[in-house]
Structure 1
Amino acid sequence: MTSITPNVELEQKWDKTFSKNSKLDHCKVTFKNRYGITLVADLYQPKEIQEKIPAIIISGPFGAVKEQSSGLYAQTLAERGFITLAFDPSYTGESTGEPRNIASPDINTEDFSAAVDFIGIQTNVDQDQIGIVGICGWGGMALNATAIDKRIKAVVTSTMYDMTRLMSKGYNDSVTLEQRTQTLEKLNQQRWEDAKNGTTAYGPTSLELKGGEPQFVVEYADYYKTPRGFHPRAINSNASWSLTTPLSFMNMPILTYIKEIFPRPILFIHGENAHSRYFSETAYNEAVEPKELLIIPNANHTDLYDRVDIIPFDRITDFFNKNLK
């Protein structure tokens, strides 16, 4: 197994939010992206592989780590016969990059391609049969990566967010030009504060509810702040993004070239009752066939993080079996 060892100490015990399937082979691997950042990932694969088989790369949600939702997806799809890789994006989890807890639509898109670099040179992977899954905010990144990286043969998004649209326009595109300008001015002033102090400033700890929050925020807290999904390395569980993280998202719409995913297929999956459903519906409308929008009845946004009785793994498996060949 090809691996570049970073100058970091990796957690070796099983510390996922889901139970380990001992019938699979599992190990941690590392590789570098084009910017020299070392990414840390969990590799899952069926035991005793005798031939080259398809591989699937997974990341997300935004502010999560590979020990949470993406790892659950990876292990479950490995149980169904794929080699899978769940990675921590740059600057988060066990992956490197300073300062910590920042995001970038460019670098995080590159993270997917770096994972394709890594998985495609493994001796038991068919380079022509690589797919990716993006969950929540990494759904938009996955679409952006697929548009630019023709090695990716099929893409699934689950409970997708377009983070560039959200940060630049707000929920349901409700932000006015005046509000956007005020936000940018505030972020620009924060850059001077960070420069003066010589450190990166961060917001308050994520999802510390005080009462009166919107229902979808309560649902986030029910995942990230409880034993259901809490993980000490997850930004959304016990940390926060840097205050200036939104800057690079404000004028870089990542779905500009979604039509260039053609002729490769896209499967959009979203919950019927998810506050974020419009992100998938818009992306679906802008994408070119072959495409499919699968709406899960009665599901909210976070149900598709870990509710294995709700996540349509059979449909995902059928999609990849059909299109990774």
Structure 2
Amino acid sequence: MSENKFGLVYAGALEENVPGGVELRPISFNNFDGVKIAANLYLPSNFDASQSLPAIVVAHPNGGVKEQVSGLFAQRLAEKGFVTLAFDAAYQGASAGEPRQTDRPSNRVEDIRASIDYLETFKGVDTNRIGALGICGGGGYTIQVSKTDKRIKAVGTISMFNSGRVRRNGFGDSQLATIPDRMAQAAAAREKYAKTGEVDYIGDLLTHRTEFTKEQLEQIPAGLYRDGVEYYGDTHFHPNSQSRYTAMSLMDLMAFDAENNVDLIDQPLLMMVGDVSDTRYMTEAVFNKATGTDDKKLILIKGASHIETYWVPEYVDQEVTAMNDFFSAKL
């Protein structure tokens, strides 16, 4: 990161803006709640404001930031001719908002809508050709927004993560018996914050860069969480990226479910997930319930786990090709 002037940590990241090439513009805007959102706007080669180009909002994973995988896909799609915008969620990354790492679905939904607002005012964007791409948790929130915001003309997800279902039921629906315990935890955290201003956090692994030994990593169940510690804590570390979220966020998260009313999506829909990913069940559940559109496609990336869809060149190339074909046709 320290070697990249934009702070980007993904492979093949822009090092500088070169005339005639893809351009990255750090920008900011306020959402409807008045929270300042930090974002990176990627413009395709030889961008001209007199053009009328398609645009795509890219939403990052839970705990991620715009300098990681969402920036990677924003850049790669800009290379294909789209105006793209990767942003940090409110209360997270370089965006404003207190308490830090608040993770309320309503905030994440508003961030995507506010990003569309920005693109609609940006000269060179065709407001009738705006799409949305969400990765991991950002995929679940992109699904949520697309149910009712029909400014989004095409919807894409990669390794979609249904945050509400997992926070409520546990990963793989393995903690149904302890739902009341998590509700009690959220209530206690809210009460503590109201009385003292102190914030309780869950999943506080990456407050500082973490170097796990092989033995320590093996104590984490194989799959999403172990791979995530390596991705966020080591290979694609960024100090603004945090694994934790406020315990009182559970009050909102546990009542959220990307699967609810997903039949309201009537736009073209492309969902991609690794065929061996332990989160595959979430993508398939949403895809199967998305009965409001006949123009939908599910692509299984052979051999890919959840985190591998973020960075493994072979998988990223497949995803970029599929998303480019999809958005080029549908926008």
* Both proteins in one fold, TM over 0.5: yes
Q: CA deviation at 1:77?
A: 0.4
Q: Distance in 2 between matches of 1:141 and 1:127?
A: 21
Give the superposition deviation at 1:231.
0.4
- For 2:289, the aligned partner's letter is E
1:204 Cα deviation from its structure 2 partner = 5.8
RMSD (CA atoms): 1.6
Aligned to 2:241: 234
The equivalent residue for 2:230 is 222
Query: Does the 8 Å contact 1:296/1:310 carry over to 2?
Result: yes
**Equivalent residue, structure 1, for 2:55:** 55
Are the structure 2 counterparts of residues 85 and 204 from structure 1 closer, same or farther at C-alpha, using a change threshold of 3 Å? closer
* 2:14 corresponds to: 20
2:278 counterpart of 1:284: no
Give, in whole Å, the separation in 2 of the partners of 1:225 and 1:190.
26
Structure 1 residue 82: Cα displacement: 0.5
Kept in 1, the 8 Å contact 2:27–2:39? The answer is: yes
**In percent, how many aligned pairs have the same letter?**
32
Equivalent residue of 2:54, what SS?
Answer: strand
Deviation digits for residues 249-271 of structure 1 (CA, Å, limit 9, x no counterpart):
11132331211111x11101000
- Structure 2 Cα separation of the partners of residues 62 and 52 of structure 1: 32
- Tell me the distance in 1 between the aligned counterparts of 2:119 and 2:161: 25
The counterpart of 1:268, out of the listed 250, 268, 271, is 271
Cα distance in 2 for residues equivalent to 1:49 and 1:212:
49
Q: Please tell me whether the aligned partners of residues 105 and 254 of structure 1 are also in contact (alpha carbons under 8 angstroms).
A: no
Q: Specify every segment of 5 or more residues in structure 2 that has no aligned partner in the other structure, as ranges.
A: none
**Cα distance between partner residues in 1 of 2:99 and 2:190:** 14
SS of residue in 1 equivalent to 2:239: coil
Q: How does 1:1-325 map to 2 (within 5 A)?
A: 13-18=5-10, 19-20=13-14, 22=18, 23-50=21-48, 51-176=51-176, 178-203=177-202, 205-206=204-205, 210=216, 211-216=218-223, 217-226=225-234, 228-236=235-243, 240-262=244-266, 264-288=267-291, 289-311=294-316, 312-324=319-331
Q: Which moved more, 1:183-192 or 1:125-134?
A: 183-192
Q: Secondary structure at the match of 2:247?
A: coil
In 2 relative to 1, CA 203–169 (structure 1 residues): closer, same or farther, beyond 3 Å?
closer
Q: Which amino acid letter does the alignment assign opposite residue 97 of structure 1?
A: G
Structure 2: how far apart are the matches of 1:89 and 1:165?
20
Query: Does the CA-based 8 Å contact 2:183-2:251 persist in structure 1?
Result: yes
TM-score normalised over the length of structure 2: 0.89
What residue identity is the alignment partner of 1:296? I
Helix, strand or coil at the partner of 1:283: helix
In 2, Cα distance between the equivalents of 1:265 and 1:235? 33
**How far did 1:283 drift?**
0.6
CA contact (8 A) 1:91 1:97 kept: yes
Distance (whole Å) between structure 2 residues aligned to residue 235 and residue 27 of structure 1: 24
Instruction: Indicate conservation of the 8 Å contact 2:153/2:268, yes or no.
Output: yes
Letter in 1 for 2:279: S
Deviations 1:105-131 (A, max 9, x none): 111011111100000111100000000
Cα distance, 1:218 vs structure 2 = 1.6
| Matches of 1:111 and 1:198, distance apart in 2 | 25
Conservation of the 8 A alpha-carbon contact between 2:182 and 2:250: no
Count of paired positions: 307
Distance in 1 (CA, whole Å) between partners of 2:202 and 2:163 is 18
Cα distance in 2 for residues equivalent to 1:155 and 1:141: 11
The question of whether the paired residues in 1 share the 8 Å contact of 2:259 and 2:285 is answered with no
How far, CA to CA, are the matches of 1:134 and 1:56 in structure 2?
10
- Paired with 2:202 and 2:321, the residues of 1 have a C-alpha distance of 39
CA deviation profile, 1:217-248 (whole Å, cap 9, x unmatched): 2211121111x210011013xxx222222221
Counterpart CA distance in 1 for 2:203 and 2:320 is 36
Amino acid at match of 1:101: Q
Report the Cα distance in structure 2 between the residues aligned to 1:186 and 1:167, rounded to whole angstroms: 12
